[in-house]
Chain A
Amino acid sequence: MNARALLPAIRPDRLIMAIVFAGAIIGGWVLLPGENERVAMLERDGHSAEALAILEQQVNGGDRRYRTLHQILALYENEGNVGKAQAILEDMVKERPRDAALKRRLAQFYKNSQKDGAYIATLHDIIDLRYSESTCRELIGRLRFKGDAAAEQQALQRCRQKGYRRPEDLSRLAELVAADGDKIQAAALLKSIDDLKRLKTTRERYQLLQLLVEQDQPKDAERRALRWIRSAKDDAMAIGLIDLLARSKFPDSAIEVAKDSGSPGDSISLTVAERLIEKTQSGAAILYLRGWLERAQGVEPETAVRFVDAALAAGDARTALKGARQFGLAQLPEQTLRTLAAALDGVAAKAEADEVRGAMTDGAPPGTSQAPAGAAAAGVLTGAQAPLDPQAGPGRGPLASRSRTVLLVDPLDQWRRSLHASMTTDAQRRMQALFVGPKPPPGYVSGNADGRGRDARAGARGGGAKLLKKTSRVLQRSKKLSTLRAKRRFAKQPNGLPSPKGQLPLGQPAGKSEPAGDGAP
């Protein structure tokens, strides 16, 4: 029998059926769940032990497929087998060195298992493999928090080379570099940030300005200072910048900035006169002051005090009196009035001096003894609200004398206080800094922190109120922001930790509840 004889017995339809049937068997065979699918099904059904046994067998048998390793890793983590999970994950990363996602997973694992050194090393690896701003930020933050300045600086430089441009961190790099003494690079860094108009904090601006004047770049310093002043509309910062320039090798720059940024009759333009006085150009200062007074309108008490102080410092008591009358004698603090009266006595203007004294609350001539500070304080513990020593004025002791000297020679104390205020990054500290630090001249009585001036009789109002008001508005906004940040920070971490507000409620699995984020710091 030959094949030809057989052929008519095989019908075409049956052949086709057989082929389809074979195809179905082969297809079914292919579609049968493999080991990985079996494992997934076992996992889903809660038979983790069996699933793990299968996977371990596969892995020990040489199965290094990603899917297998991923499954076994998940099971180890689920079971809390941290050591084995770590080993698997590290092997996976070794075998796939270019897989950035895997490296990130390894990094997160190290973070969860608190292997800080390995975590940081992995962050370095991730950056080497593929630049990521978030990874750079995390790495730099970790190193900074540890206090490893050298490593932080290195990481900053490396990330910057790769394209990291986060202004806060570059500014931080500038600080570190400046601390190393490389002021050129520090200035270049800050300039590069500022040129993109992103140098926002007062501290950064002051630092750049200081670096520029140290590097004999007064014109650049003036230009930037003017730009900042015009954009920020922050008198405290403006005056602080001007003060910084005034104390540098380029005091004329201070005058230029003051002229260009102030308006006639405002507090900033008054600095011109004060600068002239510093340069012992009293005549010019007097002329300026007279001109300034003609244009002054709606002057705040602290500016009024500055005017009077400046006029007295320039030796023009009558202009000082004119200004005082214009602003209102009652607006001025006791000490200023006392000094003005003494100056008027000095130019034989007794009637005017008496007029000024009449505006004082006690009307006492200077030199009148008052209760010593000790006696005032002695009653405090008994509950009496003893006022502070009101005799913080001239002629009352070495401290007062020194303050008097400060008053006469350095009328810019308020600006130094503003400088102090502006330099602090923390808004809350800024409010405190506004009053602490460089001490105001005696008799200078600042307003309250919120800028609301109070009765001069209580000695709580006076110079700086407008400045403080404006600044305090800025600070209030900043404070709100920082309070919000603080609330977020501390609510998340009531004792620094994200719990126990995150305690789960009753019978609910995790995943949806968030810690209450509105707790007080």
Chain B
Amino acid sequence: MHKGDVTIRRIRQVLAFIGRFVVQLLVLLAAGQPAHAIDVEFATRPVKREILALYDSRHEAQSSATRIHRLAEMPLNWLGYKVTYADVNGPLPPEPDVARYRGIVTWFIEPLAEPRKVLAWLDAATAAGLRYACLGEIAPPEPPGSEPFVARILARLGLAPSDQFVAVTHNAKISINNPAMIGFERPIDKALPEFRVVQASGPAAKVHLAAIVEEGEGKVTSVLVATSPAGGYAADAFTIFYDAAVDKARWVLNPFAFFKQAFGDERFPVPDVTTLAGRRMYFSHIDGDGWNNISEIEGYREAQTPAADVIAKEVIEPYPDLPVSVGLIAGDAITELGGTEAARKSAAKIFALPQVEIASHTYSHPFAWGFYEKYDRAAELERVESAKHPALTVMDRVRQFLYRVAGKSGAGDGQGRYVAGGHELPRGYLKEPFTVETEVKRALEISEELAPAGKKAAIYLWSGDTEPFEAVIKATRDAGVRNMNGGDTRLDAEYPSVFYVPPIARTAGSQRQIYAANSNENTYTNNWHGPYYGQLMLADTLKNTELPRRLKPFNLYYHMYSGEKPGALKAVKTFVDEARNSQVIPVKASEYAAIADDFFAAELQQVDASSWMVARRGALQTVRLDDADAIDLDDAKSTGVLGATRHAGALYIALDSAVEPAVIAIHPRGGNTPQFDKGSARLINSRWQVKGLRREACGFTVDAQGYGAGDMHWLAAPGQAYEVQTSRNGAVLSTVIATADASGYLQVRPEVDALDPVQLRFACHER
């Protein structure tokens, strides 16, 4: 062999070796590399729902008396946010706490005592990334030296302050007006209010309302309402319009749109307190006022029937398919205090009805709860004395005499020294000193004593000004009952603004009071001065709180004295009939209160781009996705979900209380109705509460409980017939055959009493 050939061969061998080495090395390296490039990891993250509201207790004594609570909290609740209040006169939340909030809202008009402190805190909080919605001024009076803070805070919103103020506005003109944000209930006033000049400093600010005014040779444009990824700003005079002549207010700004944009409009399932099993909730509760009043209604008047008996006979007994919570005032049933034995008897009769939920409307009916927060018995007795001997004119005395001759009670002519004849005294029954324990615990006990054995009181209904203090609310929680009242929703021609729709609850210290969902007859009857049929107008509020948004459930709330007047009784009956005949889900008042309480407890986590986990939701079993025309529930990927229904562009998702936590997944909505196989189904809506959905090979089973005949609507396998068997503890109560139509729509109406839980088994039925 030639020496050169050997060399070439060796070189080739070496090169081959190197090549194999390199290839092997590359293979090793490649095998060791994770596939980072393609996988996208989505870390589960909590959905922040808490908004921090700053207020000044020097001008707004309690959080429940603030503009934010009365005006802004309801839209925030509706968007899924819960509001925590902090008084700027006390310590503001330190840094670790701040991180849990989604954003901050302020609505200052009056000057603050320590504006510097508030400005510095806001500057730091917004620098840390918290969104900030400013209505009114940031921190009046913005003393000298505060300009850099104000500038920085506004700069984060894409705005810049100026030192100009337009006081005479007849030369000013609106230059930008976004109708989706402005003119929500009333257009901008033609005579523009005065305004401070704030300018847009960059593209981040989306300007919804701006005004332009000539200033010398040039023009000045001022931003009046704007939102940005960092929050929003609305000049105070362009938020609401208040008219002193009619003493009412209306929103100019669209609070739903404003807060949605200010706090981020990304989608997340909103815990909903209006809907259950796909239907608007209905509940009814009666305060015991007027229990012993003699009815004037023909047929009852002759027999001197008390109003409570009239209500029982006309409104409760004939409607076993509708629950009602009845709040007895203990004093009405305690003869030593001024009550009557007849009241005890009628209470026992009412409480024995299966559809009646036991409640208490206090022991002695406080009118002014604030009086009892720092109770002074001596001061109370002084009032009793002066009320007993009021200064009466001659005409008053003549009138009283004539009333007595006619056998009627008149002004100042109370049932006894310690029974209030009106609001001149701080509570109704004053014989015994007030104690929180008596007022709550004893009152509940008295209701329970009059109820059948084992039937417990479930809810405490506030009286008078419905502004109980912290200790007494806590007493109700300690007693294991829910509490409710106050709020007084109206949304009709007389109160034409969502301003008059309250939020879900109010706080007193660390305690929470749930507001009633509708107003009682007082606001409709001029505080029971007439017209007594006034509560017929509830229909408008029910309609306006259903569309364009479902703001509140259907709550029929009245007093026993509605049994006095024919017009008032007619109004109540009109709405119980409506509840019976409309597509609602009847629930007890305590169940609504539990759902409302759990709005604040529910926790949301975003699992991935299109699914969320809902945990710690307690009694709350509905979440809502807004603007849902293009999306639908992904039944296959969801767990703990019974079904979904649509209303006003939103998707209401019914959750299964038997599964915790629930996972909600969505996907783009197809053109057709979703199709289900024989072993699956989706609940559309139901008059009974439904839980424990178990899918089978052919069919499914659920547990249910509710009032009246069951009326359920499902999406099931198209064309499939089902034998629907309703049973309880193994005993079959009814069996019907129901067939889904071509689109899978299936309706069943088991005519059984489901006050005690039943089981419904949908088994495939082959014809």
Contact = CB atoms under 8 A, between A and B. Distances in A.
Interface residues of B, number: 138
Given A416-B165, A431-B111, A512-B411, A499 B519 contact: yes
Interface stretch (A170-178, A252-260, A318-326): A170-178
Contacts of A145: 186, 241, 243, 245-246, 248, 250
A507 B307 CA distance: 9
B196 A501 contact: no
Nearest to A428: B110
Given A392-B147, A432-B109, A499-B520, A141 B246 contact: yes
Given A144-B245, A506-B292, A459 B143 contact: yes
Contacts of A397: 148
Given A78-B566, A505-B421, A378 B124 contact: yes
Contacts of A399: 147-148, 151
A504 B275 CA distance: 32
A206 interface: yes
Nearest to B168: A210
Interface residues of A, number: 119
Contacts of B522: 498-500, 502-504
B346 interface: no
B517 to A, nearest CB: 13
Interface string A417-439: 00110111010110111111111
Contact of B170 (A183, A373, A509): A183
Nearest to A510: B528
Nearest to B292: A507
Contacts of B420: 505-506
A278 B115 CA distance: 33
B71 to A, nearest CB: 9
A504 B147 contact: no
Interface in A359-415: 373, 376-378, 380-383, 385-390, 392, 397, 399, 403, 406, 413
Nearest to B146: A388
A142 B245 CA distance: 8
Nearest to A458: B116
B355 interface: no
A429 B109 contact: yes
A504 B528 contact: yes
A385 B90 CA distance: 12
Interface string B320-335: 0000000001011000
B521 to A, nearest CB: 9
Interface stretch (A13-21, A22-30, A44-52, A95-103): A44-52
A189 to B, nearest CB: 12
A380 B124 contact: yes
Contacts of B145: 388-390, 392, 442, 445, 459
Given A444-B144, A459-B145, A510 B529 contact: yes
Nearest to B494: A114
B147 A494 contact: no
B341 to A, nearest CB: 14
A437 B196 contact: yes
Interface stretch (A224-232, A289-297, A513-521): A513-521
Contacts of B499: 496
B398 to A, nearest CB: 16
B570 interface: yes
A60 interface: no
Contacts of A422: 167
Contacts of A433: 165
Contacts of A383: 91, 94
A186 interface: yes
Nearest to B423: A513
A116 interface: yes
Contacts of B493: 114-116
Given A381-B98, A503-B522, A179 B167 contact: no
Most chain B CB within a 10 A radius of its CB, from A138, A388, A494: A388
Contacts of B117: 380, 385
A349 interface: no
A8 interface: no
B104 to A, nearest CB: 12
Contacts of B165: 416, 419-420, 423, 433, 437-438
B241 A147 contact: yes
Interface in B225-262: 236, 241, 243-250
Most chain A CB within a 10 A radius of its CB, from B123, B167, B183, B365: B167
Interface string B499-539: 11010000000000000000110110111111111101100
A304 to B, nearest CB: 16
Interface string B404-442: 000001110011000111110000110000000000000
A48 B140 contact: no
Contact of A500 (B60, B121, B291, B486): B486
B82 to A, nearest CB: 19
Interface stretch (B461-469, B546-554, B675-683): B461-469
A503 B362 CA distance: 13
Contacts of B94: 381-383
A46 B298 contact: yes
B196 A436 contact: yes
B91 A500 contact: no
A113 interface: yes
Interface string B133-145: 0000100111111
B289 interface: yes
A301 interface: no
Interface in B562-595: 564-571
Interface string A247-285: 000000000000000000000000000000000000000
Contacts of B249: 496
A207 B166 CA distance: 12
Contacts of A432: 108-111, 137, 140-141
Contacts of B338: 506
A79 interface: yes
Contacts of B301: 46
Nearest to B249: A496
A2 interface: no
Most chain A CB within a 10 A radius of its CB, from B301, B429, B522, B570: B522
B557 to A, nearest CB: 10
A303 interface: no
A306 B614 CA distance: 62
A162 interface: no
A243 to B, nearest CB: 10
Nearest to A422: B167
A161 interface: no
Interface string A452-474: 00000001101000000000000
B367 A516 contact: yes
A436 B140 contact: yes
A144 B120 contact: no
Interface string B142-171: 111111110110000000000111011010
Given A79-B566, A145-B241, A207-B170, 8 more contacts: A46-B302, A147-B183, A175-B170, A210-B168, A399-B148, A428-B59, A437-B164, A499-B527
Interface of B: 59-62, 65, 70, 91, 94-95, 98, 108-111, 113, 116-117, 119-121, 123-125, 127-128, 137, 140-149, 151-152, 163-165, 167-168, 170, 183, 186-187, 189-192, 194, 196, 236, 241, 243-250, 287, 289-293, 296, 298, 301-302, 329, 331-332, 338, 365, 367-368, 409-411, 414-415, 419-423, 428-429, 463-467, 485-488, 490, 492-497, 499-500, 502, 519-520, 522-523, 525-534, 536-537, 540, 559, 561, 564-571
Give 6 nearest A-B pairs by CB, closest first: A435-B141, A141-B245, A510-B528, A502-B527, A80-B533, A80-B567
25 contacts: A46-B298, A80-B532, A141-B246, A145-B243, A147-B186, A147-B187, A186-B170, A206-B167, A377-B124, A377-B149, A388-B116, A388-B120, A388-B149, A399-B147, A420-B165, A423-B194, A445-B145, A494-B465, A494-B488, A496-B497, A496-B500, A501-B464, A503-B289, A506-B338, A516-B423
